[in-house]
Amino acid sequence: MCYREVHCTKHSCGHETPQSERRVDCGSARCRYSEAHDSSCKTCPSSCKQWLRPPQMIATATSKTPCTHCRR
């Protein structure tokens, strides 16, 4: 199944703030979100995956300060 890759900043409080994201294509013809999926699929709701896998959080930066929520 396809999923989202979320690039984020990890703060000193342990929380992560999303900065950017991209969809990662699984390449399966049986995944509704894949580029390989046939847009005219007649049995899609019953035969194809209808959801994305959970997002993958990737810390691409770190911050020595707490996130905005924890600073309040």
What domain count does the chain have? 1
Give the domain range for residue 20: 3-71
CB–CB of 27/36 below 8 Å?
yes
Entry pTM:
0.78
Determine the 3-state secondary structure of 68 from DSSP.
helix
Give the per-residue pLDDT at 71.
86
pLDDT of res. 72: 80
How many Å apart are CA 62 and CA 4, to the nearest integer? 20
Residue 46: its H or E element = helix 44-47
Q: Is the dihedral of CA 41, 42, 47, 52 positive or negative?
A: positive
Per-residue pLDDT of the chain (72 residues; tens, 9 = 90+): 999 999 999 999 999 999 999 999 999 999 999 999 998 999 999 999 999 999 999 999 999 999 999 988
